[in-house]
């Protein structure tokens, strides 16, 4: 029991340091531009060594986008939790509400982050790569809901990819409106454009 508490405390402390380093990096990137800031700059601003920074993040891109790592699993869990009788497309749309909540809770922060990513080609590429990594999680959740066996059929992968593209397009439109438009309504509109009539 004592070892579990110690491990838990260590995990909490590590998460706090990681969050602080990410915030320092983000603040520097916003002020000076992503390409003008080095790992050494971030480490110095945070009061840590370069090796300490790299222990938490393998790159500057990871300092900005590491929060996206867990989203694939979160989305898949939300998708599996949808009612069994719900069609895949509706279930996918509702599962994405997990991500939209971040935009509702902190619109100015998520708007600033989204703008930084959109203005930085390296971050755009890394975000696309991370979102592509969510696709198999969503497709497997769809297959599990339908009781499909391996190998994974193409249809769940296509639906997952389309849903993630709808999300990206809705976020882009939301960002270009300076957060004035409702992201959930934009996502509904994007999904409706692909809903069979």
Give the model confidence (pLDDT) of 109-138 as tens digits. Answer: 899 999 999 999 999 999 999 999 999 999
Q: Mean pLDDT over all residues of the chain? A: 90
Tell me the pLDDT tens digit for each residue of 55-103.
Answer: 999 999 998 888 787 888 899 999 999 998 999 999 999 999 999 988 8
DSSP state of 153: P
Q: How confident is the model at residue 9 (pLDDT cuts 50, 70, 90)?
A: confident
- Whether the pLDDT of residue 159 is over 50: the answer is yes
Residue 187 and residue 119 share a domain? yes
Residue 2's pLDDT is 45
Residue 78 and residue 131 share a domain? yes
Convert 94-113 to b/e letters by CB count within 10 Å (16 or more is b): bbbeebbeebeeeeeebbbb
What's the rounded mean pLDDT across residues 136-156?
A: 89
Query: Last residue of some domain: 29, 58, 87?
Result: 58
- Whether the pLDDT of residue 3 is over 60: the answer is no
Containing domain of residue 178, as a range?
64-193
Residue 163 and residue 90 share a domain? yes
Residue 172 and residue 123 share a domain? yes
Residue 115 and residue 46 share a domain? no
Please give the model's pTM, rounded to 2 decimal places. 0.84
Residue 48's pLDDT is 93
Residue 6's pLDDT is 53
Residue 144 and residue 87 share a domain? yes
Any idea what the CATH number is for the domain that residue 102 is in?
1.10.357.10
| Number of domains comprising the chain | 2
Query: Last residue of some domain: 42, 58, 74?
Result: 58
Are the C-beta atoms of residues 45 and 24 closer than 8 Å to each other? yes
Query: Last residue of some domain: 32, 58, 84?
Result: 58
Q: How confident is the model at residue 12 (pLDDT cuts 50, 70, 90)?
A: confident
- Percent of the chain residues past pLDDT 90, beyond the cut: 70
Using CA atoms, how far apart are residues 177 and 194, in angstroms rounded to an integer?
Answer: 23
Residue 72 and residue 43 share a domain? no
């Amino acid at each position: 029991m004592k070892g579990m508490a110690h491990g838990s405390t260590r995990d909490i402390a590590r998460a706090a340091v990681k969050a602080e380093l990410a915030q320092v990096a983000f603040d520097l990137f916003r002020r000076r531009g992503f390409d003008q800031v080095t790992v050494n700059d971030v480490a110095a601003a945070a009061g840590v060594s370069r090796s300490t920074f790299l222990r938490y993040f393998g790159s500057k891109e990871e300092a900005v986008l590491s929060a996206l790592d867990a989203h694939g699993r979160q989305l898949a869990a939300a998708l599996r939790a949808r009612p069994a009788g719900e069609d895949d497309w509706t279930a996918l749309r509702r599962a994405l509400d997990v991500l939209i909540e971040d935009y509702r809770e902190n619109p100015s922060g998520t708007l600033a982050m989204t703008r930084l990513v959109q203005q930085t080609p390296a971050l755009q590429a890394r975000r696309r790569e991370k979102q592509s990594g969510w696709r198999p999680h969503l497709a497997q959740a769809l297959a599990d809901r339908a009781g499909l066996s391996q190998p994974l059929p193409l249809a769940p992968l296509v639906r997952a990819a389309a849903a993630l593209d709808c999300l990206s397009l809705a976020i882009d439109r939301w960002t270009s409106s300076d957060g004035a438009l409702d992201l959930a309504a934009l996502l509904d509109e994007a999904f409706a454009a692909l809903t069979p009539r």
